[in-house]
């Protein structure tokens, strides 16, 4: 019996995507180091929370690694087929944020009530919904892929993609709504949507954008976050304040930074999550920022390589969905810190503080590793 167990363990580690696992461990370890630097500098504290962001990051990382390893041994085809279990749970948690229950929570400085607070711990349900959306949409695409461009199939696919986008947008979380939209775009492109529909969609967006802008559907504070990008200094004490300071802090470290535990570090709002790259810049300089960008790029490339070796469309679409999520969040977050894109509350994968975000990142990687492990076509 012991021999069989040993053979099973050896077989598991032989199929495990060790490169992706290593990249994820390096990324989350680096984020814990950065958050410890912020903790030592006095920039983050427990406040009304049960744990300070650094402690929560370590706990979430441990839970995330366990979740990743568990996910990697569960066949992704099975996880997609049991959508009727995980989707109602994740969707139900999102719908709870629309109620007036005491567990609905709005973090300080946030524009939305997209959070739940249970037993002193904060949970962002939209992060968990990404997992269910990628699985269900990949399953949907794989079932209609031969007739994807039939108007009826395309209509239902668009409704499938629009549902979470609109739900999260109504919730007030524009950043997460855009992440869902980009995941949808990446996956439907990978499935082979006809270019005539692509051009038609671009035309609809071109018409809808000014309508949304001038109709009042977009809150004034969101409009200001876009318009301020032309000249951040024009509202240096208002909407431009955070990005101006974030950019200044980012560049203050020059080439090699001031050091993780320097006495000459500066703070800006959301330094531990949305603007964590600014702290990397001031402590480790351009070299540290380049390391973060290269690390996230390597993770994205590894996800795409797994998509290429998938022996079935379902696995490919799952990987493309996870890639879209990681790439979009990384680009938008870095653009926010550089002051070239608006602040819309998007975290930097694996780097920003946040238990739900970290666990979701690991669970998503677990999906990719499941595709890697359960594909006969893997070379």
Contacts of 21 (CB under 8 A, 6+ apart): 68, 365, 369
Q: What is the pLDDT of residues 214-239, one digit of tens each?
A: 887 788 888 888 888 888 877 777 77
Name the residue ranges covered by the structural domains of the chain. Answer: 19-136+220-373
Residue 1: pLDDT above 70? no
Q: What share of the chain in percent tops pLDDT 70?
A: 94
Comparison of pLDDT for 150 and 378, the residue scoring more = 150
User: Which pLDDT score is estimated for 346?
Assistant: 92
Contacts 24+ apart (CB under 8 A), 278-281: 278/246, 278/247, 278/249, 278/250, 278/337, 279/34, 279/37, 279/38, 279/43, 279/249, 280/34, 280/351, 281/249, 281/250, 281/251, 281/252, 281/253, 281/257
Pick the range with the lowest mean pLDDT from 99-103, 150-154, 204-208: 99-103
Q: What is the pLDDT of residues 289-315, one digit of tens each?
A: 999 999 999 999 999 999 999 989 999
Pairing of the two strands 121-123 and 104-105: unpaired
CB atoms within 10 A of CB 72: 24
CA distances from 362 to 28, 68, 139, 358, 366 (A): 10, 5, 21, 6, 6
Residue 292: how many CA atoms within 13 Å on its side-chain side?
A: 28
Q: What is the pTM of this model?
A: 0.93
Residue 110: pLDDT above 70? no
Q: What is the pLDDT of residues 319-375, one digit of tens each?
A: 999 999 999 999 999 999 999 999 988 999 999 998 888 999 999 999 999 999 998
Q: Average the pLDDT over 130-156 and give the result.
A: 95
User: Which pLDDT score is estimated for 332?
Assistant: 96
Q: Indicate the pLDDT class of residue 69, thresholds 50, 70 and 90.
A: very high
User: Which pLDDT score is estimated for 174?
Assistant: 87
**What average pLDDT does the structure give for the chain?**
89
User: Which pLDDT score is estimated for 50?
Assistant: 64
- Alpha-carbon distance of 62 to 64, in angstroms, equals 5
User: Which pLDDT score is estimated for 225?
Assistant: 85
Residue 378: pLDDT above 60? no
Residue 189 has φ and ψ, to the nearest 5°, of: -65, -45
What is the 3-state secondary structure of 139-203? HHHHHHHHHCCCHHHHHHHHHHHHHHHHHHHHHCCHHHHHHHHHHHHHHHHHCCCCHHHHHHHHH
Residue 379: pLDDT above 60? no
User: Which pLDDT score is estimated for 48?
Assistant: 54
Q: What is the pLDDT of residues 11-55, one digit of tens each?
A: 777 888 999 999 999 999 999 999 999 999 888 865 556 678 899
Q: What is the pLDDT of residues 157-211, one digit of tens each?
A: 999 999 999 999 888 888 999 999 999 999 999 999 999 999 998 999 899 888 8
């Amino acid at each position: 019996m012991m021999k069989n167990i040993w053979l099973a363990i050896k077989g598991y580690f032989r199929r495990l995507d060790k490169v992706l696992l290593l990249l994820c461990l390096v990324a989350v370890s680096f984020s814990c180091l950065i958050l410890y630097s912020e903790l030592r500098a006095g920039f983050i504290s427990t406040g009304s929370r049960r744990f300070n962001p650094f402690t929560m990051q370590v706990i979430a990382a441990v839970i995330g690694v366990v979740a990743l390893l568990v996910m990697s041994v569960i066949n992704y085809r099975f996880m997609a087929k049991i959508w009727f279990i995980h989707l109602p749970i994740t969707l139900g948690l999102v719908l709870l944020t629309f109620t007036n229950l005491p567990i609905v929570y709005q973090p300080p400085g946030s524009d939305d009530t997209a959070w739940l607070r249970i037993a002193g711990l904060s949970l962002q349900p939209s992060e968990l919904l990404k997992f269910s959306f990628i699985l269900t949409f990949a399953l949907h695409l794989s079932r209609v892929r031969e007739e994807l461009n039939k108007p009826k199939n395309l209509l239902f696919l668009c409704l499938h993609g629009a549902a979470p986008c609109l739900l999260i947008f109504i919730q007030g979380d524009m950043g997460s709504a855009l992440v869902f939209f980009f995941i949808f775009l990446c996956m439907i492109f990978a499935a082979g949507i006809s270019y005539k529909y692509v051009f038609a969609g671009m035309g609809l967006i071109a018409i809808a954008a000014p309508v949304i802008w001038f109709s009042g559907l977009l809150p004034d504070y969101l409009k200001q976050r876009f318009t301020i990008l032309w000249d951040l200094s024009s509202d240096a004490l208002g909407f431009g304040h955070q990005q101006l300071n974030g950019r200044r802090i980012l560049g203050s470290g020059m080439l090699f930074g001031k050091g993780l535990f320097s006495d000459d570090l500066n703070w800006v709002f959301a330094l531990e999550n949305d603007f964590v790259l600014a702290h990397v810049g001031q402590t480790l300089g351009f070299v540290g920022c380049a390391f973060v960008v290269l690390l996230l790029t390597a993770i994205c490339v590894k996800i795409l390589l797994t998509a290429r070796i998938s022996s079935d469309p379902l696995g490919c679409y799952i990987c493309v969905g996870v890639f879209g999520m990681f790439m979009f969040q990384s680009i938008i977050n870095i653009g926010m810190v550089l002051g070239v894109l608006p602040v819309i509350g998007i975290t930097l994968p694996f780097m920003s503080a946040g238990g739900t975000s970290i666990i979701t990142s690991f669970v998503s990687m677990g999906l990719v590793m499941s595709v890697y492990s359960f594909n006969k076509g893997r070379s």
